[in-house]
Amino acid sequence: MRLFNYSLLLLSLIILSGCNAKKEKEKNTASLSDRYKNDFYIGTALSADQIEEKNPAVDSLIKKEFNAITAENIMKSMFIHPFKDQYDFTLSDKFIAYGEKNKMFIHGHTLIWHSQLAPWMQKIKDSTEMKAFMKDHITTIVTKYKGRVDSWDVVNEALNEDGSLRKSIFLNTLGERYLVDAFKFAAAADPKVDLYYNDYNNEEPAKREGNINLIKKIKAGGGKIDGVGIQAHWKLQHPSLEEIEKSILAYSALGIKVAFTELDISVLPNPKDLNGADVNQNFESNAKMNPYPQTLPDSVQVKLAERYASIFKLFLKHKDKISRVTFWGVHDGQSWLNDWPIKGRTNYPLLFDKNLKPKKAYNSVMELKETKQ
């Protein structure tokens, strides 16, 4: 009897050891894109250095964790079309090749945006010249990558916080018709590619209503629009899950896809008069506005993890409506929030820290998918 019990105990220990080893292996090899592959794409924004694969450790992390990519800056007008008769596709070619090599979903960002324009574009005053520029710019870029880019942000940030149209150089020279034309030009250049309108704070009630009206006008004018991008530059307490959910439902009801395109969650205080996520806004720095210059306290790490978990739980609830969730950066050290809206701060908005280590927030998102949905 004793021999039997000893043998049984030994067998149990072997089985337990095997199970633990299997769990440890799964933990080490599991990734965001694998866990969510049946739900939606998990993407990240790539910097120029990342596109050129300058850091092997970062490159390895990108390839493991993500299956969709967006160019952080290099496809914006000032970089890809620096002079009237000159395009520079050097880095965008590498970006497309990177996505193709790694079998990733490739998102183009962005064709028409009032910010980060080349200096020569800002001097256009004539409506005929502006429309010709728009047509040439959109047609040239979209045609070049026809069949290779999966979706485009055709127009970026055309709305004010109250839902009215931003008085951009495009609106001032062409009127609101420019929105319809932009989508028509893109669709003509590549009829099969998905076309998105992208903005920040468009989960807020007033701006959401303006965005809905904008989408309806584009459709009524004969423009092809396949989805809306909610940038999702959020905070620990704001916006509410209720408003995010209302937005998913409202946009989906228009018959379009919903993507969360620039997700990050700031853990730092911001100036009271901060308005949205306009890159042109800057404020003076002080110690109160930079409370965690060296490391993020564990108590805040926990809050960040809980916030990410609640958001992804909502995303999973509506996964049939969501096409892609993209983080705005690979790791904390890369985040634009270290310099905006106050330069020189240390923020911790992503799932990986500056040393490329997964944070509690990463674990909280992964744990949602540990059991089959």
Catalytic residue set = 157, 262
Tell me how far apart the alpha carbons of residues 266 and 338 are, in angstroms, rounded to a whole number.
Answer: 10
Cis amide leading into 326 (omega within 30): no
Q: How far apart are CA 19 and CA 45, in angstroms?
A: 36
Residue 344 C-alpha from the chain's centroid: 23
Structure token digits, residue 322: 């969501």
Kindly tell me the burial class for residue 188, based on how many C-beta atoms sit within 10 Å of its own C-beta (0-12, 13-18, 19 or more): middle
Here the tokens at position 114 are 């009032």
Q: State which amino acid sits at residue 236.
A: L
| Cβ neighbours for 322, distance < 8 A, ≥ 6 positions apart | 39, 40, 248, 257, 258, 259, 260, 315
